[in-house]
Structure 1
Amino acid sequence: MIMKKWWQLVATMLLAMALLLGGCGRSSDIAPDSLRFALEQEPSTLDPAKSSTLPESDVELAIFEGLTRLNAKDLPEPAAAESWTVSDDGMTYTFRLREGLTWSDGKPLTAHDFEYAWKRVLNPTVAASNAYMLYVIKNGEAYNTEKATAADVGVTAIDDRTLVVQLEAPAAYFIGLTAFHAYYPVRQDIVEAHPDTWATDAKTIVGNGPFILTKWQHNAELDFVKNETYWDAKAVRLKSMEWPVSESQSTRLTLVEGGAADMTTEPPVADQQRLTKAGLFKVKPSLGTYYYVYNVTAPPFDNPKVRRALSMVIDRKAIVDTIVHGGKIPAFAFVPPGLMNEATGQDFRHEGGNLVSKNVEKAKALLAEAGYGPGHPVPPITILYNTNEMHKAIAEAIQAVWSNELGLDVSLQNQETKVFMANREAGHYQVARASWIGDYADPQTFFDVFSDPANDAQYHSEAYNALMDRVHATTDVGERMALMHEAEKMMFDESLIIPIYFTTTPYVANEAIDGYNWSILGTVDFKHAYRK
């Protein structure tokens, strides 16, 4: 164990040294029209249909673009589409694409590429993790669950510049969805020529965004150049970007402070006060929740009383105050603050209140009701998390409280992010770290997580799904919000998750960089970034 940790330390030091001395260079060597962003983890894929992490979304936002793009106020504005119209009943959207759109290799980009890409996301044989994001489209869910065909899906390219989309029900947030990565276009000939590898190799990725990925040295660095064929290339001031990759917060901070990177996210908590004094530390709002998710099919978590008991002993404020910092807020529900109920004018979270509280004695009573006690202890529990200093510290804190307050046998297991994500998605765990950043500014983006047939909790409830079907179908704003409050209460009656904190985006950036936009949805957009 000591030898393993020593080699991990050596590997971290070597990466930092290589990036400091190698291609990234010192700050004085950087070109005036370039930027270096230290990415917090290696992307598992850059396939917009299958990617599921913020680092993947950050890369995709640089190299792809949807019909719309979020502006600095997180509002969708025309991008690949120059305009659109909506039918009186709110069910049909007609998008008009810009004239002369091209892919990064110069080939024409048309409405047919969008039709292909969206239907590919919904194709059940693709098994896209983001398919549920397109269920708002007519017959989208039916096709994804093999109850309809691709021809039944309400997406049709009328000609090269006209895309007509029919919805299952009116959805005021739909335009915002078209800026999400699951709605990006991908090109059929590229995907079909390299079905297993096209999205993991810079040589085979063709995009339509402001930048082109020119190099992907896995687990080390991604390089970009400006896409001169991009429709809005005049607005892109950077000529190139270099993104070193490290899961170590300390290594990424070393890169920034050593001049080998300009920016990175989530610096170590221990350094945040010092970085604030130096003018490097910044915090952006984020529409997200950090939580632990149970595999509800894995004993002892197949019993909701056990799930509820373990959630009730967590001291969330202590975790935020001593480990996390960064402006985070202890979470006692799933949906974070910042989302308005249009029917009441009130914040959705404020209306819903807290749905879990700390109560050690009640937790012990619940375990007894579940049949556990001195003569029948709770089976050993393993907490799964992906390798990261903060994730480790939080897991250790939860391990300690479960052991000290409830006498449980708790072990920890960390995995490299790609392996961790695969195991969590497949249900190969008991309880695991998770987080969710809203895909759009509406509470529904949180509730759809657990109606997805492939959700990480392995939770399949006909009652919950029926409730979400009502959310999707109603056009009454007040009724819709009331149903979502009901859905959140059902989640906590079932104790599907352990909410820990509502997120922010802490980051460090030198003052020479400006024009970037960190969205409340967690992604960073460098389209308008520049070096002063």
Structure 2
Amino acid sequence: MKKFKLPIIIIAFITFLAGCSNGDGIYSDKGQVFRKVLPQDMASLDTALVTDTVSFDIFNQVYEGLYTLDKNDKAIPGVAKEMPEKTNGGKTLTIKLRKNAKWSNGEPVTAHDFVYSWRRAINPDTASEYAYIMYDIKNAEEINLGKKKVKDLGVKAVDDHTLKVELTKPIPYIDELFAFGVFMPVNKHAVEKYGEQYGTKASKAVYNGPFKVKDWKVEDKIQLVKNNDYWDKKHVSLDRVNYKILKDQQAGASLYDTGSTDDTTITADQVDKYKDNPALKKRLLASTFFIKLNQKDVPAFKNKKMRLAISQAIDKQGYVDSVKNNGSTAFDGFTSKLTAKTTDGKDFADTIKSPLTYNPKAAKENLEKAKKELGVKEITFKMNTEDTPDAKISAEYIKSQVEKNLPGVTMKIQQLPFKQRVNRELSQNYEASLSGWGPDYPDPLTFLNTMTTGNSQNRTGWSNKEFDKLTKEANGPLLKKPKEREAAMKKAEELLLHDAPVAPIYQKGEAHLTNPQVKGLFYHQIGGDTSLKYVKIDKSINRKTGKKKKDN
């Protein structure tokens, strides 16, 4: 299949040289510094107010929750000094906090910080899109719905260094969930000082992680420095972390070639160029991408056969081969592979049977039935995507497939900045949107819950009582019946796919150029993308060959 080409760009070397002239510049490799290219900016430094992967990735470096994730995505103590003591059948957790944890303003991190932060996140006045992830804490859902007071949340500071959490039921993945960004604490004095401006600038937040934000220039760069108030600073080798925000991935490769960055993703066209380079790494992420179809604003999307037609009209293997070429895989489901295992050791995603495979014949048949039921001959809709060259190529491929395999259907493309695209989804102000989701904890419900009725991430107009019932049972009475629980979640996902409120396309892969000198970099499949706490730059390694430098 013909490859979709990206336009060749030239890096502005004046900017590059200006950055290199300063030892603390964004491209400088002076000392222990890790430099990474980001495809988009973070949204905020407020742990209660973000939903995007980039923000959660930064949070992993500058905040620390009760627990953090190790290289195998298992929870290990963070601010907590040990794993929780579980009583009352697993519903009551008593967590001891370490006494030497501090904020970057010198204040101690205490149990009161977690009580304050969690109450703030669940408070409906905060309008956290992720509040629902706390619903397993006693009274959380009722508080978020305005039915109970914030002080009724099932979290209590027994003393400065002991936290007691009451759950509605025992949750098998609760330790990993507590490592997620929304559960990370904020500093009460900083929030009260800056009010609505908290987290909008590097100087308007206080940090308790291995690093702190020194500078944040929106849509340009994010610079971190080692947090000398961090309790475990002796294990942090990096002095600085420099993120450069570049929407054009091809520019990242140019920076890598000039020794100006240590990690960048690259485009499909560039993979073959670097196939023999020791820096080239491919990884499959536990994130799925799909087209959200808004039934509220597009009458045609209320028709199930029309939704099926769109899913079946897109050659997904052709998409990952020609558009991505980075380790992404064609995908017909919703819950990604690598999210959760079944009781017999299978990947949950492999147990799902989906009707949304590429099938142009079935797509045309469903389209003709939909046209008759809708009483129309032509259908036009607009799909939102991001304002990057890569996103444009993706959208153009999807458009070509939809219009080729669905006669009479016209798909228009609207490119928007990332934040605007996400905000339009959250406010349901779109027709179709190329969107994605990754797991927040190692369980299928991290995907399935997002499509329940009223969930802040749903916003498609789709609602199904049976689906809601199955997910509720999986998160309640079936928690102690793993096989029955798996069967319920499998049934729920297959019901979702047969109704097709979203059109799955691929599971995300990434092709990276990573400096072979970078050691100790952890990638995660849940929560934030990386952990940099243990990263060290080994300058005895030859950057170009990946081998030890020879002594002169």
TM-score by length of 1: 0.93
1:430 aligns with 2:431: yes
Aligned-partner SS, 1:141: helix
C-alpha distance in 1 between matches for 2:341 and 2:248: 39
Aligned equivalent of 2:179: 179
1:469 aligns with 2:472: yes
Given that 1:341 and 1:481 are in contact with CA atoms closer than 8 Å, whether structure 2 keeps it comes out as no
Aligned-partner SS, 1:350: helix
Alignment of 1:478-497 (within 5 A): 478-497=483-502
Q: Aligned pair in 2 of structure 1 residues 28, 311: CA closer, same or farther (>3 Å)?
A: closer
1:68 aligns with 2:67: yes
Shift of 1:23: 5.2
Aligned equivalent of 2:546: none
C-alpha distance in 1 between matches for 2:251 and 2:224: 22
Shift of 1:386: 0.8
Q: Aligned pair in 2 of structure 1 residues 355, 140: CA closer, same or farther (>3 Å)?
A: farther
Alignment deviations for residues 147-181 of structure 1 (CA, whole Å, 9 cap, x no partner): 22212221111111111111111111000001110
Shift of 1:109: 1.3
Q: Out of 14, 18, 25, which is 2:15 matched to?
A: 18
Q: Aligned pair in 2 of structure 1 residues 45, 104: CA closer, same or farther (>3 Å)?
A: same
Given that 2:354 and 2:498 are in contact with CA atoms closer than 8 Å, whether structure 1 keeps it comes out as no
Alignment deviations for residues 377-401 of structure 1 (CA, whole Å, 9 cap, x no partner): 2431111101223322221111111
Given that 1:339 and 1:442 are in contact with CA atoms closer than 8 Å, whether structure 2 keeps it comes out as yes
Q: Aligned pair in 2 of structure 1 residues 437, 17: CA closer, same or farther (>3 Å)?
A: farther
Alignment deviations for residues 290-345 of structure 1 (CA, whole Å, 9 cap, x no partner): 11111121212122221111111111111011111222221011112234544333
C-alpha distance in 2 between matches for 1:17 and 1:387: 25
C-alpha distance in 2 between matches for 1:374 and 1:516: 53
C-alpha distance in 1 between matches for 2:75 and 2:154: 22
Aligned equivalent of 2:412: 411
1:530 aligns with 2:536: yes
Given that 1:19 and 1:244 are in contact with CA atoms closer than 8 Å, whether structure 2 keeps it comes out as no
Aligned equivalent of 1:383: 383
Aligned equivalent of 1:308: 308
Shift of 1:527: 0.6
Alignment deviations for residues 265-291 of structure 1 (CA, whole Å, 9 cap, x no partner): x31111112223122211233211111
Alignment of 1:436-475 (within 5 A): 436-451=437-452, 453-455=455-457, 456-473=459-476, 474=478, 475=480
Alignment of 1:287-302 (within 5 A): 287-299=286-298, 300-302=300-302
Alignment of 1:128-527 (within 5 A): 128-264=128-264, 266-299=265-298, 300-372=300-372, 376-407=376-407, 408-451=409-452, 453-455=455-457, 456-473=459-476, 474=478, 475-521=480-526, 523-527=529-533
C-alpha distance in 1 between matches for 2:387 and 2:249: 11
Given that 2:271 and 2:511 are in contact with CA atoms closer than 8 Å, whether structure 1 keeps it comes out as no
Q: Aligned pair in 2 of structure 1 residues 365, 152: CA closer, same or farther (>3 Å)?
A: same
Shift of 1:28: 9.8
Shift of 1:134: 0.9
C-alpha distance in 2 between matches for 1:42 and 1:24: 25
Q: Which amino acid aligns with 1:103?
A: W
Given that 2:73 and 2:524 are in contact with CA atoms closer than 8 Å, whether structure 1 keeps it comes out as yes
Aligned-residue RMSD, C-alpha: 2.2
Aligned equivalent of 1:34: 33
C-alpha distance in 2 between matches for 1:138 and 1:378: 51
C-alpha distance in 1 between matches for 2:96 and 2:468: 34
C-alpha distance in 1 between matches for 2:8 and 2:29: 28
Shift of 1:487: 1.1
Shift of 1:372: 4.3
C-alpha distance in 1 between matches for 2:95 and 2:434: 39
C-alpha distance in 2 between matches for 1:415 and 1:192: 33
TM-score by length of 2: 0.90
Shift of 1:214: 0.9
| Structure 2 stretches lacking a partner, 5+ long | 1-6, 539-552
| Structure 1 stretches lacking a partner, 5+ long | 1-7
Q: Aligned pair in 2 of structure 1 residues 237, 363: CA closer, same or farther (>3 Å)?
A: same
Q: How many residues align?
A: 522
Aligned-partner SS, 1:409: strand
Sequence identity of aligned pairs in percent? 27
Aligned-partner SS, 2:485: helix
Deviates further, 309-318 or 139-148: 139-148
C-alpha distance in 2 between matches for 1:122 and 1:316: 39
Given that 1:62 and 1:209 are in contact with CA atoms closer than 8 Å, whether structure 2 keeps it comes out as yes
Shift of 1:17: 4.4
